[in-house]
């Protein structure tokens, strides 16, 4: 087995964070576009990760500020998993990945950058998407600008909001 080191992640995970929670609505009073929010319901939010592992790296979180699966209501559980499923379907239709990494990190020791607010990561993966650049030059090669990905994904998430209201 070979290791592929990602030293930039430890800087982010252990580094000082600005006050507030990036998942909570009033975080710096930024607009949804500035926060890269693709979808928001009364229960769940889907946003793009500003520090992605790959193009289309999404974060799906409950609106309520909670840190444990045990704190979710049955309605939140269903809505959260439904949005993880819808998000992968949208990413598949727009970006055509070969696979996904989907998961959540509970607690700092498990790698949670924001351990106070539960959130799923959805990372699209393509054959050959990891290469020597990250390991040798401390550079990630992400071929599409995050704003361009946001613009491609937003209409499909808006459609999900409309479909939900019908």
List of residues 6+ apart from 86 with CB closer than 8 A: 160
SS3 at position 12: helix
Cα–Cα distance between 99 and 126 in angstroms, integer?
7
Cα–Cα distance between 43 and 63 in angstroms, integer?
5
119 is catalytic: yes
CB atoms closer than 10 angstroms to residue 17: 12
| Catalytic one of 2, 96, 117, 119 | 119
Q: Enumerate the active-site residues.
A: 119
């Amino acid at each position: 087995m070979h290791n592929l080191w990602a030293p930039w992640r430890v800087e982010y995970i252990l580094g000082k964070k600005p006050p507030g929670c990036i998942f909570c609505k009033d975080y710096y009073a930024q607009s949804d576009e500035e926060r890269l929010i693709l979808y928001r319901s009364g229960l769940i939010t889907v946003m793009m990760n500003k520090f992605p592992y790959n193009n289309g790296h999404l974060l799906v979180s409950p609106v309520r500020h909670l840190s444990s699966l045990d704190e979710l209501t049955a309605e939140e559980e269903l809505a959260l998993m439904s949005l993880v499923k819808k998000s992968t379907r949208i990413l598949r239709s727009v970006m055509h990945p070969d696979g996904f990494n989907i998961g959540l990190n509970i607690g700092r020791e498990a790698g949670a950058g924001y351990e106070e607010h539960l959130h799923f990561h959805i990372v699209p993966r393509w054959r050959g998407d990891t290469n020597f650049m990250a390991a040798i030059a401390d550079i990630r090669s992400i071929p599409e600008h995050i704003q361009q990905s946001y613009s491609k994904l937003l209409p499909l998430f808006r459609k999900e909001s409309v479909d939900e209201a019908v």
